Amino acid sequence: MLQSAPSPQVWTGKPIVLVGLMGVGKSTVGRRLATRLGVPFVDADHEIETAAGMTVGEIFEKFGEPYFRDGERRVIARLIDGSPRVVATGGGAFINDETRALILGQAIAIWLDAPIHVLADRVRRRDTRPLLRDKDPFVVLKDLAAVRNPIYAQAPIHIPSDQAPHESAVAAILRALEL
């Protein structure tokens, strides 16, 4: 007998913001979580690209990371306006003090976390990430994790996301939200 997908619930709370290193599944988990909660899903990087008329990589290359982070903060502030939704952020968004304060003050921050070897395997499949250009993903991610994980740990909800299907991370988030 086929199991049907769980029916969506309707989330009426604060925006839910997913944070964590690149490759952890923020966008994929975010889309599925939004569907389960019956709310819109928004990818902050996509919104930044739309607003700028160029890719994240092009913004980094043309204007540098500080310029990108400032635009990212403004876009995230617009996305967490109090409306129920799920927002996937770029890996560095939560590291910015102002952006992190916005997220922690106006949303529910959820840290998706996975072992470095899993993340490195996932990000090797795409070459769209500016911080990985011409570098070993394992080394870059290990260095980023050393700096960023203590900051991601400020998110009130921590969800391990290993090699299990993304649906297991969604289920863990729903449990953490007590749904």
24 is in an annotated binding site: yes
Q: How far apart (Å, rounded) are the C-alpha atoms in residues 115 and 7? A: 31
27 is in an annotated binding site: yes
148 is in an annotated binding site: yes
Q: How far apart (Å, rounded) are the C-alpha atoms in residues 172 and 133? A: 33
91 is in an annotated binding site: yes
As given in the structure block, the two tokens for residue 167 are 């649906």
69 is in an annotated binding site: yes
Residues near 92 by beta carbon (within 8 Å), at least 6 away in sequence? 65, 69, 72, 131, 148
81 is in an annotated binding site: no
DSSP E strands in the chain: the ranges are 16-19, 41-43, 86-88, 108-113, 157-160
142 is in an annotated binding site: no
26 is in an annotated binding site: yes
129 is in an annotated binding site: yes
* DSSP secondary structure of 61-129: HHH-HHHHHHHHHHHHHHHTSS---EEEPPTTGGGSHHHHHHHHHHSEEEEEE--HHHHHHHHTT----
Question: Which residue positions form the known binding site for ATP?
Answer: 23-28, 129
Question: Which residue positions form the known binding site for Mg(2+)?
Answer: 27
Question: Which residue positions form the known binding site?
Answer: 23-28, 45, 69, 91, 129, 148
Question: Which residue positions form the known binding site for substrate?
Answer: 45, 69, 91, 148
